[in-house]
Structure 1
Amino acid sequence: MRRPAEVTLAALAPVVRRLGEAEAVVAGDLVADEYVYGETERISREAPVLIVRYERSELRAGAAANAAANLAALGVRVRLVGVVGEDAVGAALLEVLEGAGVDVSGVLRLAGRPTEVKTRILAGGRSTRRQQMLRVDRAPPPLPAAAERALAREVARAGRGARAALASDYGSGTLAPPVVEALRKLRARGASVCVDSRYQLASFAGLTTAKPNEPELEAVSGVRLDGPASFDRAARALLRKLGCEEVLVTRGRLGMSLYAKGEPPVHLRAHGEREAVDVTGAGDTVGAAFTAARAAGASALDAARLANVAGALVVAKPGTATVSGAELLRELEG
């Protein structure tokens, strides 16, 4: 397994400083991540369940919305393409995104189709840390064909002048075939297009970079991962299957591996020694940091190095979180 040539983290700082001049597009499934906090009081008489006394709640950007928020936190001018409902939670999500500096002019608001919400209940005893007890998901129905075509037009519009794009697929149907075709056209015009797909990676042939984790790599390649040789076969098979230029595999505590056409693989160790607090949304941060670096003109390898650092920083934070350009610079230069 080839390790990369020694590169100091400080040598990557100029890429971060260029992020304020970069433009990128995020297209994908928009989710409102709702966190409800409370204190556990007693066992209910109605059923063997805990009674939680409500304390507070907050709404954060999830899925593709989280990826866009991460790009904005890094300083990139980001345009978001996706769908929310004409409901209160959709309006609240857009407000959160606008407050984070994301251009939401490409987000469609559809009547009769509720905004996707993931509600996490976090509770604990008095003076103890709140921990997640339960998650309730409210998924929307399929998109109408007219909305799919409208989203494709928004991708084309948002992509003018952008050097990079991120397709964030959580299985909710936003990245329908017309939208994927619009992303392919961005690649044909010279943009770097990274795809992060939880369930349908095989549907995204013809883009620049695929970013699976190990279970996703195994599922889409059809190669059982039982050692370094099989891992290599799976990554090479995915390169051929998708016709992409790179495959960036995220591997948790093992770091990440970059496979590029005609090049030996590069395996990056996980950055730092921080204990993971919460991995929620970490893949969004990695995809955003990789896309941000590509938008700033970095090579795929340098983009992967920066994404590796950003991923290590975000898992040290609770809940759906972002990493700022200033945080990344401090880590690189510290």
Structure 2
Amino acid sequence: MKKILVIGDIIIDNYLIGSTERISPEAPVPVVKIDNVITNIGGAGNVVNNLLAFGTHADILSVIGDDDAFGEVESLFKKNHISSKFLFVEKGRVLTKKTRILASNQQIVRYDKEDSKEITKETSEGVFNIYKNIIVNYDIIIISDYNKGLLTKELTLKLINLANDKNIKILVDPKGSDYSKYKGAYLLTPNKKEASDIINFDINNDTLENATSVLKSKYNLTKSVITLGKDGIALFDDQLKLFPTKAKEVYDVTGAGDTVIAAIAYKLAKNLTIEEAIEFANLAAGVVVGKIGVATASLSEINAFVQNIKNKEDLKIILKKLKEENKKIVFTNGCFDILHLGHVKYLEQAKKMGDVLIIGVNSDSSVKILKGENRPINSELDRAYLLNSLKCVDYTIVFKEETPYELIKLIQPDILVKGGDYKIENIVGNDIAKSTVVIDYIEGKSTTNIINTIKQ
């Protein structure tokens, strides 16, 4: 199993969750009745939690104090199955604790307890001594800087230089105003505002390529990445590439940056390309921002999140994973305009032929070509959503072409299925699939019959 080491500031994230129905008579503020208290490991600890959720091995190297938070950290580490063997204790240090009060899924206020002074020289030497003795055991290093005093300029440069000497990629989630301490890292993951502050000009569609290029050259990065919030992630290697966000609903962006860098590291450790790693990071972040508080995204959640595949780039990522797992892929396509018993029985039979059922859904424009101007009754997104609600369906993707030939060529299914009285040699994609099967429709069960009944 690939191993990843996270170095960074540990934070305790505390959530007081409740409801509010009145304003305080003491001041014009809401009164929140607390129903639930959640305490999580945040900061670099949340990066580790994300890596563990992906099913990989991750350790953390950090500094904590000897205050009353020490026992709380150890308890949370044990609960989350995180090893505490590389925690360095600095006497008199106060660990950062952030407490948020939420009512009706909205954050009302946050109050912090912290000590952000730089670690002592003795502590820095202790941390580096641990690092140099264990670095060879890891495939990727993540620096998760929350600007809480651990990652001094001197220590950070030493961490990066040693990783480069060992030919180990080191990824940085940066903070603060001095990025020179990250010089030579494989990549940084600043958000748009952080990057804009560092390079001293506004970042927009017209300046994004220049911004990523400047960061890459100025700090001697192998790759340049800027996270763009709702607009996704930008990558600059030899040219600018944009990766749109995958989020469906955004409830809380807390910890999304932790998820992004963890996801990129996870895929790079598996020797995937940076493009594939960023695509995966977008998907993982899309899951996390749909949750309240500091959260993680498991592989099963990510797979469920992308059930309705948005584009062929997403499909390529999923296909790669399915083929790595030696899954037998079944493909079928159709309009599925008004979902009925005939469709369901047909799809249930198709799923039984393999491990994964992917459905190509005709776009609205292609349905009109096939069925006439009065069709479809339901939009392409509605049709895909209804299909995804079926237990037997794993993925759907809408295709705009008149036939699914190009889609079948991309998927290379083990089994191609069609319903009705087709002759196998006349089925589109028959020359690509390993085998082609025709399943009989249930007599009298069709969208056309349903429409005619409604008209009558």
Range of TM-score over shorter length: 0.7 to 0.9
Deviation track 1:7-41 (CA, whole Å, cap 9, x = no partner) reads xxxxxxxxxxxxxx110011111100011123436
Matched, 1:198 2:175: yes
- Determine the C-alpha separation between the residues in 2 that align with 1:166 and 1:201: 16
Matched, 1:144 2:120: yes
**What is the TM-score with the length of structure 1 in the denominator?**
0.85
Q: 23, 36, 42: which is aligned to 2:3?
A: 23
Partner of 2:281: 307
Q: Is the 8 A contact 1:314 1:321 kept in 2?
A: yes
- Determine the C-alpha separation between the residues in 1 that align with 2:160 and 2:212: 22
Partner of 1:181: 158
Q: Is the 8 A contact 1:221 1:235 kept in 2?
A: no
Q: 11, 14, 20: which is aligned to 1:40?
A: 20
- Which one has the largest radius of gyration? 2
- Determine the C-alpha separation between the residues in 2 that align with 1:226 and 1:306: 24
* Aligned ranges 1:198-237 → 2 under 5 Å: 198-199=175-176, 200-228=178-206, 230-237=207-214
Partner of 1:73: 53
Matched, 1:135 2:115: no
Q: Which amino acid aligns with 1:168?
A: S
- Determine the C-alpha separation between the residues in 2 that align with 1:41 and 1:265: 49
Q: Is the 8 A contact 1:36 1:121 kept in 2?
A: yes
Partner of 1:277: 251
More relative contact order, 1 or 2 (CA 8 Å, 6+ apart)? 1
Partner of 2:215: 238
Partner of 1:115: 95
- Determine the C-alpha separation between the residues in 1 that align with 2:303 and 2:23: 48
Q: Which amino acid aligns with 2:171?
A: C
Partner of 1:84: 64
SS in 1 for 2:257: helix
Specify whether residues 57 and 275 from structure 1 end up closer, same or farther in structure 2 by C-alpha distance, changes over 3 A only: same
Deviation at 1:141, TM superposition (A): 4.2
Q: 269, 291, 298: which is aligned to 1:324?
A: 298
Partner of 2:43: 63
Partner of 2:140: 164
- Determine the C-alpha separation between the residues in 2 that align with 1:51 and 1:292: 42
Give 5+ residue unaligned stretches, structure 1: 1-20, 124-128
Q: Which amino acid aligns with 1:206?
A: G
Deviation at 1:268, TM superposition (A): 1.0
Q: Is the 8 A contact 1:274 1:312 kept in 2?
A: yes
Aligned-residue identity in percent = 27
Q: Which amino acid aligns with 1:312?
A: G
Q: Which amino acid aligns with 2:187?
A: T
Q: Which amino acid aligns with 2:195?
A: L
Q: Which amino acid aligns with 1:102?
A: I
Partner of 1:5: none
Matched, 1:295 2:269: yes
- Determine the C-alpha separation between the residues in 2 that align with 1:207 and 1:154: 20
SS in 1 for 2:158: helix
SS in 2 for 1:81: strand
Deviation track 1:47-82 (CA, whole Å, cap 9, x = no partner) reads 333333343322111111111111111112111011
Deviation track 1:109-158 (CA, whole Å, cap 9, x = no partner) reads 333212110110123xxxxx342110001121422221111122222234
Deviation track 1:163-183 (CA, whole Å, cap 9, x = no partner) reads 111111111111112243123
Partner of 2:233: 256
Q: Which amino acid aligns with 1:136?
A: Y
Specify whether residues 154 and 169 from structure 1 end up closer, same or farther in structure 2 by C-alpha distance, changes over 3 A only: same
- Determine the C-alpha separation between the residues in 2 that align with 1:281 and 1:213: 13
Aligned length: 305
- Determine the C-alpha separation between the residues in 2 that align with 1:104 and 1:179: 21
Specify whether residues 277 and 141 from structure 1 end up closer, same or farther in structure 2 by C-alpha distance, changes over 3 A only: closer
Give 5+ residue unaligned stretches, structure 2: 307-317, 323-394, 396-456
Deviation track 1:78-124 (CA, whole Å, cap 9, x = no partner) reads 1101122223433223322333232221112333212110110123x
Partner of 1:17: none
Q: Which amino acid aligns with 1:157?
A: N
- Determine the C-alpha separation between the residues in 2 that align with 1:179 and 1:217: 19
Deviation at 1:226, TM superposition (A): 4.0
Q: Which amino acid aligns with 1:52?
A: V
- Determine the C-alpha separation between the residues in 1 that align with 2:135 and 2:18: 43
Deviation at 1:306, TM superposition (A): 1.1
Specify whether residues 217 and 242 from structure 1 end up closer, same or farther in structure 2 by C-alpha distance, changes over 3 A only: same
SS in 2 for 1:112: coil
**What is the TM-score with the length of structure 2 in the denominator?**
0.63
Deviation at 1:258, TM superposition (A): 1.0
Specify whether residues 153 and 266 from structure 1 end up closer, same or farther in structure 2 by C-alpha distance, changes over 3 A only: same
Q: Is the 8 A contact 1:86 1:112 kept in 2?
A: yes
Q: Is the 8 A contact 2:156 2:181 kept in 1?
A: no
Q: Which amino acid aligns with 1:173?
A: G
